[in-house]
C-alpha cells in the first residue's frame, strides 16, 4: 500500500520550506532513516529521512518548489504493511492521497467538523462538497480537489480538525491518477470559499464563476477576473486552460463614449505579458518578513564613527602567516567580535532584548555575536556562541566554520538561533556609511565600511597615511539612547585602535 509521508515540523514557527535536492528517485528502494531529501527553511538546511523501509512511489515536488509543513512530501510503498481497519485496500492501479485541511481564514488554526457529506467508499468528483466545518467565524464547506474514492475520514463528526493536518484520504481515479502532477497540497495555498449562508461573494457583476481552487489560484496569479471567462466545462465550469487562453488572447478595444479606459486596460495587458513574476521564497522570503517586522516595530536611530585601523592591520599582518601554517584563517572579523564582547562587559544593555509588550528587558550572560554572510541562497546571520569565553583564535576557527557552512547552505538550526547582537561586514563589497536594520529581537547592529588609506593629522601636525574604516550603528531607541551607544562605540573603538589593550583586557 502506498502511504504519504507528511513533511514534519522542522523548526519553531516554520510552515514551509524549499525543496533543494531529492536524494532518491521514484522506484528507488529505501530503508528506515535513509536521507530522502534536502530542504531549506528560512533558517537552515534540513535533511529529511525515510520513516520506513519500502519503495518510493511518488515525489510530490520538483527541485526548487515550496513544500508545506504537514503536507505530503513523497509517498512510499511500505514493506509488510496491511490496510488499516478504517481504510479500504488500494487497488494495484490506485494512488492514495491525503487531503490536508487548508487555511480557511486568517488566524484560524482549527475547526469543528459539523458534518461529513460523504462516507468511506463513496466516489467523489472535483469540487464536490466533502465536509462542513465550523470555525470561530463562519461555516465553511470543504470541496474535493479531484475525482476519486474516499478511503478514510480522519475526524469524527463533532471532532476538532487542525489546519494543515490530514482531514481525509482518497484513491485517485481514472485519468486524474495518471496525470496528477500537482499534489493535493495545492489546496493549502488557497483559502476555501465559505458557504453562501455566511459570506456573500461580491463581484463586479454579482456573477460567481464555477472553478476549482487551483484554477482560481492561476487566475489570481495572472490577475484575471474569472467572471469574464466563458468556461468550456459543464454548466460553464472554468478550467485552467480556459484561464491561460484568456490571458493570452489579444485585447480588443471596443469604442465607447470614453475610449481612454479601454486603452489603459490594453497597456496593462501588454505590460503583464512582457513582465516576469518570480516567487519570493526560502531565505529571501524570511529576510523580507524579518526586515518588515524590524522597521515597523523598532524605532531605529543611527550613529556613525570612524576607526583608525592602522595598528590592528599591522598586528594582524604579523600574525597571519604564522597561524596560516597551522591552518587558521585569521581575518579581521575575530578582532571585531572579541572587542565587541569586551565592550559588552561594560555595557550589558547592548546584549539584551526587549519583550513584545515593551515592558521587560532581558539581559543575556552569553555574548552570541552574529555576522551577516552573503551566501548563494541569500543573506544568512549565523552567530559565534559564548564569545566571552573564547580566545581570538577560537573565534577565528568558528568564523571560518560558520562562513564555509553558510556558503555551502549547511548551517544548522543552532548556528542560526540565539544571536544577541550582529556585525554586518558590508565593506567587504564596498561602501563606507550604511543604515543597517536591526536583526529583531536584538537591540543593536553595526555595519563595517570598507578599509581605506586616507590622510590624517598626527599629534605633531604632520600628515600621515592611515588605515581608516567608517562604522555605522543602528540601535533600538526604546532601549538605547544616543549617549549609551556613543560610549559603547568609543570603548569598542579603543580596543580596535590599540590591540595591546585588547589583549591585556582579555587576560
Range list of H helices, 347-435: 392-407, 413-416
* Chain position carrying cell 478514510: 152
**In this structure, are strands 66-68 and 54-59 parallel, antiparallel, or unpaired?**
unpaired
Do 8 and 410 meet the contact criterion of CB atoms below 8 Å apart?
no
How far from chain centre, in Å, is Cα 324? 37
Of 33, 115, 241, 481, which one is the catalytic site residue?
481
Q: Which residues contact 117 (CB under 8 A, 6 or more apart)?
A: 129, 130, 131, 132
Read off the C-alpha cell for 164.
Answer: 494543515
Query: Measured between alpha carbons, how far is 20 from 23 in angstroms, rounded to an integer?
Result: 10
* Chain position carrying cell 547582537: 421
| Residue 300 annotated in active site | no
Read off the C-alpha cell for 365.
Answer: 550572560
Give the chain's largest Cα–Cα span: 95
DSSP line for 352-374 = EEE-TTSS-EEE-SS--EEE-EE
Do 145 and 126 meet the contact criterion of CB atoms below 8 Å apart?
yes
| Residue 477 annotated in active site | yes
Of 28, 300, 394, 477, which one is the catalytic site residue?
477
If residue 76 lies in a helix (H) or strand (E), which one and from where to where?
A: strand 72-78
Reference 440, options 355, 368, 501; nearest CA is 355
Catalytically annotated residues: 477, 481
Amino acid at each position: 500500500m502506498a502511504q504519504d509521508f507528511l513533511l514534519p515540523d522542522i523548526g519553531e514557527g516554520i510552515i514551509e520550506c524549499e525543496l533543494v535536492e531529492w536524494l532518491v528517485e521514484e522506484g528507488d528502494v529505501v530503508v528506515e532513516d535513509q536521507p530522502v531529501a534536502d530542504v531549506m527553511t528560512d533558517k537552515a538546511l534540513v535533511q529529511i529521512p525515510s520513516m520506513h523501509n519500502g519503495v518510493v512511489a511518488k515525489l510530490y515536488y520538483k527541485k526548487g518548489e515550496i513544500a508545506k509543513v504537514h503536507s505530503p512530501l513523497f509517498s512510499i510503498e511500505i514493506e509488510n504493511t496491511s490496510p488499516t481497519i478504517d481504510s479500504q485496500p488500494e487497488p494495484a492501479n490506485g494512488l492514495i492521497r491525503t487531503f490536508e485541511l487548508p487555511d480557511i481564514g486568517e488566524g484560524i488554526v482549527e475547526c469543528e467538523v459539523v458534518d461529513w457529506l460523504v462516507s468511506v467508499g463513496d466516489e467523489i468528483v472535483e469540487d464536490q462538497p466533502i465536509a462542513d466545518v465550523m470555525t470561530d467565524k463562519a461555516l465553511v464547506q470543504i470541496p474535493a480537489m479531484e475525482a476519486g474514492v474516499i478511503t478514510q475520514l480522519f475526524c469524527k463528526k463533532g471532532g476538532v480538525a487542525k489546519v494543515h493536518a490530514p482531514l481525509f484520504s482518497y484513491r485517485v481515479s481514472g485519468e486524474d491518477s495518471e496525470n496528477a502532477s500537482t499534489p493535493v497540497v495545492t489546496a493549502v495555498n488557497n483559502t476555501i470559499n465559505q458557504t453562501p449562508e455566511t459570506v456573500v461573494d461580491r463581484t463586479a457583476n454579482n456573477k460567481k464563476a464555477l472553478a476549482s481552487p487551483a484554477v482560481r489560484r492561476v487566475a489570481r496569479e495572472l490577475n484575471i477576473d474569472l467572471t469574464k471567462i466563458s468556461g468550456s466545462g459543464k454548466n460553464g465550469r472554468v478550467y485552467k486552460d480556459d484561464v491561460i487562453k484568456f490571458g493570452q488572447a489579444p485585447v480588443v478595444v471596443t469604442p465607447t463614449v470614453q475610449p481612454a479606459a479601454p486603452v489603459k486596460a490594453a497597456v496593462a495587458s501588454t505590460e503583464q505579458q512582457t513582465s516576469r513574476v518570480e516567487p519570493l521564497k526560502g531565505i529571501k522570503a524570511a529576510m523580507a518578513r524579518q526586515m518588515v517586522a524590524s522597521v515597523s516595530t523598532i524605532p531605529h536611530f543611527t550613529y556613525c564613527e570612524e576607526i583608525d585601523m592602522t595598528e590592528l592591520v599591522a598586528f594582524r599582518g604579523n600574525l597571519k602567516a604564522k597561524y596560516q601554517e597551522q591552518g587558521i584563517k585569521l581575518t579581521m572579523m575575530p578582532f571585531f567580535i572579541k572587542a565587541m564582547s569586551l565592550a559588552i562587559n561594560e555595557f550589558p544593555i547592548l546584549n539584551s532584548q526587549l519583550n513584545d509588550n515593551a515592558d521587560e528587558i532581558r539581559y543575556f550572560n552569553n555574548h552570541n555575536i552574529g555576522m551577516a554572510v552573503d551566501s548563494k541562497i541569500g543573506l544568512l546571520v549565523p552567530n559565534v556562541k559564548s564569545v566571552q569565553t573564547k580566545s581570538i583564535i577560537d573565534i577565528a576557527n568558528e568564523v571560518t566554520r560558520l562562513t564555509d557552512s553558510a556558503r555551502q547552505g549547511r548551517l544548522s538550526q543552532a548556528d542560526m538561533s540565539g544571536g544577541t547582537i550582529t556585525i554586518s561586514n558590508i565593506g567587504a563589497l564596498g561602501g563606507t556609511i550604511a543604515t543597517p536594520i536591526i536583526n529583531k529581537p536584538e537591540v543593536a547592529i553595526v555595519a563595517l565600511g570598507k578599509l581605506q588609506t586616507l590622510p590624517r593629522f598626527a599629534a605633531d601636525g604632520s600628515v600621515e597615511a592611515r588605515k581608516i574604516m567608517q562604522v555605522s550603528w543602528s540601535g533600538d531607541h526604546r532601549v538605547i539612547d544616543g549617549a549609551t551607544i556613543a560610549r559603547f562605540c568609543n570603548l569598542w573603538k579603543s580596543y580596535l585602535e590599540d590591540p595591546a589593550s585588547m589583549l591585556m583586557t582579555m587576560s
